[in-house]
Each structure stands twice: as C-alpha cells, then as structure tokens.
C-alpha cells in the first residue's frame, strides 16, 4: 500500500551533516520509502555557498534563499542542520507556520528557545523532533521521552561532548597537559579552530538543559545550568585522580533533589571512579547514564558527533515525522507539566576533592580541619605530603552542598598557613 505522492523534504544546510543526510536519502531511498510507507524526495537544499560542488545533489535543487524554500507550502518536512540561533530560529518557525514539520540537530537553539518552538509546533499541529541535538547518533531523547514515559527519572549523568572527552582521555592516558592534548585534538580534527564552545562547556550545557527538561518534565533554561569548562584541569589533577582510583571527565549532570521537589543541572569536570562505566568511555565517544525509579540504571553509549552518526539520528526523526504525517498523528510535544523549581548550584550536594598548598608546620591540619567543621563539611580522608618547608594537603569530603564547600574554600584562603588552593574537583558517580 505505497502512497505514490512523495513526501517533500527541504534541507537547510549542506555541510558535514547535511551532505550525509542527502546522501543517505538518495542511496537508501527504497528502504526509507518502505519504512515510511511513501517515498521521500529531496525538494530543495538551502546553502550559503551555492557554487561549491555537492556530489550527488541535483544543482537545480540548490538555493541560497532558505526563506523562500520553507515558505513554498508544498514542503512536508524541513531538516535544519545549519546550527546557531539565527537564521535557524526564524526559518524553523516560518517552516512550521507554512505547514511543515521540522527535524533539527540544533542544540543551541533548542536549549535557548525550545518552549517557544514547541509552542509554534503545537499551535500549527506539526512535529518538532531533535534527537540529533544531543549525543549524536545515540538514541537518547526518544528513550527518555517515550521509553521512560511511565517511569520517574531521578538522574542523568553523561559525557555529552566528544571533543572534551577526547582531550581528557588523552591527558589521562599520556600524562599530557591540557594545551598539549588540545593541540593534538585540533590536529586530528576533534577540536575546532576556536574550541571555546566545547572546552568551556557551552555545548554540554545546552545539552544538559535539553536533557533536564525532558527528564524532569520541567522547563530548564540554559541560564539555569551551572557551567564550568575543563581548561583548568591539569596533569596534577589526573595524578590525584589516579591515586583515588578515579579519572576525570567533563560531565553533564541533571538531578532531582532527594525530596523530589526541585531539580538541578550542571556541567563541570569531575572525578569519577574507574569502576564506573562512564570512566571507560574513550576518545570522542559519548555515553549517558540514566537512573530511573523503576528501570534502575541504564546507559546509552555511542558516537556523539560526526556527519554520518548525526545524520543517522536526523533520518530516524525524519522517518518518524513522515509516518506521523501519513498516519495523521503527532509525536510527543513539550512536556513541562511538572514545572519543578530549578535550584542554583549552591544547593547541589556532592563530594569534593581539594588540594591545598600549605606551610609545613605543626597545627596546619588542625586549622584546616576546623574550617571544614565550622562550615558543616565533613571530611572523609586527608592525605598530607611535605617537601622543603612546603606541604600539600589533599582533602576528600563527604557529601556537602556546593554553598557550604564554597564558604569553606573562601575561609581556607584566608588562613595564613594556606598558601594556595591548587584545585577543587567534584567527585561523582559513586
């Protein structure tokens, strides 16, 4: 029962991901048609540089006028792989207003304007899918939104940025410093010329906002996500981590508070035990741990970026959206009914690993321990090592709030005997 009129797809952007989407739509056209129940046809490709040769794409389909393309009215699905906020936001909105459903890979836009875009989709009765926006090829948004729809997600803990994982993995395995590992990542094409979005955690923070929103049925704005990059992680931090049986990962962590009444979302480097499955995620791979009340601990692992993996996620969404158009249904829209408050970082409770440079004289440990006690931060272990009148103290705490830890560190800095706070790192996944 194959419908004969093809579904028309407009592609916005034809870079690494877009060209792969176009290629698969052509080479696997029969499979896609069988799975959808109707053929899909590439009806237009909007690009910035029309003169560039695009293998396998009919030049007649290429246009620089993306706005005209999404306004055509005969487009069933718009696939947006431009990235960035504008013109993507206006194009997606216009596309839905002109009757198209949308598949996007745009994490920055979804993190910033997800609610507004979902409102347009709902108002127009269109689908807005974006599996490719988080963790590339790894099915994550659909499992969270649909497979776990009958469960209560309490925690999402993941490596969602391949560039930083590549750098941290290199630092861990070679003992290299940050700059050296970044240079290697850049040379190998794992890091962009300007790596800011990755290494400062902006990319991961956008993904954390999207994941927290879906997991907790609550709007989580990008500003709600506490963000720390990984540019200050040192070889010494890795050495300390190793002594604790840990490694260091840049983690996106979305948590429901113990009382269930609020949630938090944050991105920062953290020590994680080598026995934790996330510790073994190598290179540019991504992996996300999900803890749900009934399901228990789940993990999703795979390539978090790249043309073909991202195209796989885009095409999975394309098939779903096309099926919905044929069947008359719509996929799940925004679910923000829980509307839980998003707590600031100060209320996050976790463990800390703190390295202090201190004077090597009697009573220092007592002073330091007193400061922790005064701020209600309980110490788990202390390791002291001295050389040439200087000493270092490594303190690992029990679970404490970030605010209490912050107060502790501020007070420690004021001690005459504390020459410096060498590093503060959270310990997760225990």
Q: Shortest gap between Cβ of 298 and a copy of itself (angstroms)?
A: 4
User: Is 18 annotated for ligand binding?
Assistant: yes
Taking the complex as a whole, the smallest distance from the CB of residue 268 to a copy of itself amounts, in Å, to 24
17 in a known ligand binding site:
yes
b/e for 112-121, b at 16 or more Cβ within 10 A? bbbeebbebb
Residue 207 falls in the annotated catalytic set: yes
Cis previous bond, 110, omega within 30: no
Q: Which of 8, 71, 152, 207 is catalytic?
A: 207
- The single residue listed with the structure tokens 């936001």 is 89
d(CA 34, CA 44): 22
Of 166 and 301, the one with the shorter C-beta distance to a copy of itself is: 301
Q: Are 85 and 112 in contact (CB under 8 A)?
A: yes
Alpha carbon separation from 320 to 129, 259, 296, 326 (Å, rounded)? 9, 37, 28, 10
Distance in Å, CB of 287 to a copy of itself, minimum: 8
Cα distances from 216 to residues 148, 150, 204, 346, 424, in angstroms, run: 11, 12, 18, 20, 29
Q: Does 246 appear as a known binding residue?
A: no
Q: Which is nearer to a copy of itself, 149 or 236 (CB)?
A: 149
Dist CA 203 CA 200 (whole Å): 8
Q: Is residue 103 within 8 Å of residue 318, measured between CB atoms?
A: yes
Whether 385 has a binding-site annotation, put simply, is no
Q: Which residue is it, tokens 């026995």?
A: 275
The residue ranges that bind a copy of itself (CB under 8 A) are: 20, 24, 28, 31-32, 34-35, 131, 137-139, 142-143, 146-152, 217, 277, 280, 292-303, 306, 308-309, 311-320, 323-324, 327-330, 332, 335, 337-338
Query: Least CB distance from residue 148 to a copy of itself, whole Å?
Result: 6
Tell me whether residue 14 is annotated as binding: yes
Pairing between strand 101-104 and 77-80? Answer: parallel
Active site residues: 207
> Could you tell me which residues are annotated as the binding site for NADP(+)?
12-19
List, as residue ranges, the binding site for L-homoserine.
192
């Amino acid at each position: 029962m194959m419908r004969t009129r093809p579904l028309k797809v407009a592609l916005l952007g034809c870079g690494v991901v877009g060209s792969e989407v176009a290629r698969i739509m052509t080479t696997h056209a029969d499979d896609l048609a069988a799975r959808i129940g109707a053929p899909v046809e590439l009806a237009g490709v909007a690009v910035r540089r029309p003169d560039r040769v695009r293998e396998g794409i009919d030049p007649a389909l290429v246009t620089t006028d993306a706005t005209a393309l999404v306004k055509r009215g005969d487009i069933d699905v718009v696939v947006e792989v431009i990235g960035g906020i504008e013109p993507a936001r206006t194009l997606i909105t216009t596309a839905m207003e002109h009757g198209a459903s949308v598949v996007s890979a745009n994490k920055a836009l979804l993190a910033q304007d997800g609610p507004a875009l979902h409102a347009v989709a709902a108002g127009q009765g269109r689908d807005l899918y974006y599996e490719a926006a988080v963790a590339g090829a790894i099915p994550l948004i659909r499992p969270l939104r649909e497979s776990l729809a009958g469960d209560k997600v309490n925690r999402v803990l993941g490596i969602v940025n391949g560039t930083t994982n590549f750098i941290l993995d290199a630092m861990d395995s070679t003992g290299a410093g940050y700059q050296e590992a970044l240079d290697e990542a850049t040379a190998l094409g794992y890091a962009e010329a300007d790596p800011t979005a990755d290494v400062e955690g902006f990319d991961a923070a956008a993904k954390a906002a999207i994941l927290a929103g879906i997991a907790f049925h609550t709007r989580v704005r990008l500003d709600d996500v506490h963000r720390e990059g990984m540019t200050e992680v040192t070889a010494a931090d890795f050495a300390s981590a190793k002594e604790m049986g840990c490694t260091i990962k840049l983690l996106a962590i979305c948590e429901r508070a113990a009382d269930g009444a609020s949630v938090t979302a944050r991105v920062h480097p953290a020590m994680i035990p080598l026995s934790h499955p996330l510790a073994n995620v190598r290179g540019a791979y991504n992996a996300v741990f999900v803890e749900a009340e009934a399901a228990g601990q789940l993990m999703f692992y795979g390539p978090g970026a790249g043309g073909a993996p991202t195209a796989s996620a885009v095409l999975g969404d394309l098939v779903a959206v096309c099926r919905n158009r044929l069947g008359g249904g719509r996929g799940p829209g925004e679910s923000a009914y829980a509307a839980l408050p998003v707590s600031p970082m100060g209320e996050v409770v976790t463990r800390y690993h703190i390295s202090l440079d201190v004077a090597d004289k009697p009573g220092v440990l007592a002073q330091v321990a007193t400061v922790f006690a005064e701020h209600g931060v309980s110490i788990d272990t202390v390791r002291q090592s001295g050389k040439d009148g200087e000493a270092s103290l490594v303190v690992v705490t029990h679970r404490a709030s970030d605010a209490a830890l912050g107060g502790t560190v501020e007070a420690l800095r004021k001690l005459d005997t504390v020459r410096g706070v060498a590093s503060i790192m959270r310990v997760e996944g225990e």
